[in-house]
A and B are shown apart, each in its own frame.
Chain A
Amino acid sequence: MKPFTTLTGVAAPLPAANVDTDKIIPARFLKTIARTGLGKHLFANMRFNADGSEKPDFVLNQPAYRNAEILIAFENFGCGSSREHAPWALLDFGIRCVIAPDFADIFHNNSFKNGILPVKLPREICEKLMEDAKLGGNARLTVDLERSVVIRPNGEEIPFAIDAFRRHCLLNGLDDIGQTLQHKSAIDGFEARQRAAQPWLYG
């Protein structure tokens, strides 16, 4: 997992509540053997017409937001099915941070597992950030996880709360596997002892 420290980038405004995982990635794209490559299906129904052409009004189709790395939305982001394909699709598109008043639980967990930072901020603040985001490429936001602040284009710093353990994992890029790898010296030691006692287990 890629560590998340500080991110400065374009934020795409998605002024809607209850953006569910079916909207984030429709079910027909789940028959995949991969976690990557789903970015092209992100928000497919909102982003594309039935013939595959782009819907020009959708935010991620506008030139200013094609490389957005932050998403601003309203309440209950990521509700619905538990599919981990939702964070996979966001990540594959290049979104590494979603800011919203609150998130559905499973999506919230899945985001951390995949190196995406979900930032919870009160509705009024999300509305302000939504206005900032509407300025497109002229208004980049900074999300500083180290200091746990969002920095608006005007320099105003907005602190956010985050679970200390999860913050630690994201800062260090530690998923479950990453955490296990912190025990690497114990694993190495185990292998050295076992290799001496039972060499036939090592090919």
Chain B
Amino acid sequence: MSAEKPRTLFDKIWAHHVVDTLADGTALLYIDRHLVHEVTSPQAFEGLRVAGRPVHRPDATIAVVDHNIATDSSRRTGILDPESRLQVETLEQNVAAFGVPYIPLLDARQGIVHVIGPELGLSLPGMTIVCGDSHTSTHGAMGALAFGIGTSEVEHVLATQTLLQKPAKNMRVTVDGQLPMGCTAKDIVLAIIGKIGTAGGTGHVIEFAGEAIRALDMAGRMTVCNMSIEAGARAGMVAPDQTTFDYVKGRPHAPQGEAFDRAVAWWSTLPSDPGAHFDKEVSLRAEEIVPMVTWGTSPEDVAPITALVPDPDAADDETRRAQLQRMVEYMGLTPGQKLTDLKVDVVFIGSCTNSRIEDIRAAAAIAKGRHVAEGVRAMVVPGSGLVKQQAEAEGLDRVLVEAGFEWREAGCSMCLGMNPDKLTPGQRSASTSNRNFEGRQGPGGRTHLLSPAMAAAAALAGHLADVRDWQPVGSA
């Protein structure tokens, strides 16, 4: 008997979902869960309508509005921007016409699509999960294969529940050791991107492994997988384990009772086999990670908070020098300046990267008993209505509001300049989101990416700050 070839987590989920293989090796891959939002779906539904096709499996599909909605009380009185309103209304008409389950704006379960999927038990281990949004990689934290797709593919999945796909290569990023004080999942993933670059994972699916990843709670794993896309990979994943199963148990759409036990038995077979082949391997030591912050306009332009703004003239080659020069100018920096000297105008704690209850707890712990610095606008935007409820039940909203933070309704908010929450030109923000591209948070806005605790520290200090200097009041 020849032993079966050891396989990776990705290989197993992939193999499990191949419906058919075409002559050129392209697989027809079955999709278990399709998440739909207002921005990338209108033409897809329209395509179905023109072709007279139904949605193949409404029960495997769920729609929600998140990108273009207001996150203040104005959401209750209607959306002001006509184009945003049209997209939301169109989604509502489409879900009604096609029988797709929908979470409306004023429902407590409404939230960022990548927060509500795991939260409601819609995203489960072993699944293939897609959404017309690149940060679908987030759901890989469940031990699922999850990736973003374009509008034509959205239509394809709605109509057939499948996608035509070529297999990706396997990459493993191992983080062993223990994270030092003040460091979080966000610092891990920023450190990884700093190390491998924004193209480091191109063509690969990244499995995050190692002691420091295993030690993360599900929210932390989601933060890491969320930013796989910023590391160039279409998907990131973490093998399902007891932490995963405990998280899934009892969630509304998760299997219950005996079905749950059967599911766990299957999910337990998914982790990569010993000796499975990875096309690319990278490893980091957790002990060496320091609280991180981006200083440039690409997520790979990241540094420990203790670092200085780099000098473009020190670059190895002219292309890089010009690139650094452009970033330093756009970001309004002076080479050699301490990152901790950069004053911030806005602090944004939210987005599908960091808006879960754990993130809000982390921010509140730092904020408690202190106050946001003069002149800083600090906002906390929970990832979902349920996160908001939970935070309020724990009294975190009061802690934050007393400390001078705005406490808002769930949505993408200032992660992207598509709704009323935007930076104005030249404003500097400390943001827990995932992209620091020019203009991402509003035209001319300057974004520094960091963890929720670091963001809270920046709000209190009025400048980028080392969270290790801002430990909770009263803690040893």
- Contacts from A to B (Cβ < 8 Å): 1, 31, 33-36, 175-178, 180-181, 183, 186-187, 190-191, 194, 197-203
Contacts and interface: CB of A to CB of B under 8 A. Distances in A.
Contact of B161 (A176, A178, A187, A200): A187
Given A190-B19, A201-B60, A35 B51 contact: no
Given A180-B28, A186-B20, A36 B160 contact: no
A145 to B, nearest CB: 19
A181 B160 CA distance: 7
Summarize A's interface: helix, strand, loop or mixed. Answer: helix
Contact of B155 (A177, A183, A197): A177
Interface residues of B, number: 36
Given A177-B155, A187-B162, A31 B83 contact: yes
Contacts, number: 74
Given A33-B43, A199-B259, A187 B59 contact: no
Contact of A177 (B32, B90, B156, B260): B156
A174 to B, nearest CB: 11
B30 interface: yes
A180 B162 contact: yes
B127 A186 contact: no
Contact of B156 (A35, A36, A176, A186): A176
Contact of B59 (A1, A31, A197, A203): A203
A180 B127 CA distance: 21
27 contacts: A33-B43, A34-B42, A34-B46, A36-B50, A175-B51, A176-B156, A177-B155, A177-B156, A177-B160, A180-B159, A180-B164, A183-B19, A183-B20, A186-B28, A187-B160, A187-B162, A191-B30, A191-B161, A194-B30, A198-B266, A200-B254, A200-B255, A201-B32, A201-B60, A201-B124, A201-B127, A202-B60
Contacts of B28: 180, 183, 186-187
Contact of A33 (B59, B87, B124): B87
A12 B194 CA distance: 59
A187 B127 CA distance: 16
Given A35-B50, A177-B156, A190-B30, 4 more contacts: A33-B46, A181-B159, A187-B30, A200-B255
Contacts of A36: 46, 49-50
Contacts of A202: 59-60
Given A35-B50, A176-B152, A200-B259, A186 B159 contact: no
B315 interface: no
Contacts of A34: 42-43, 46
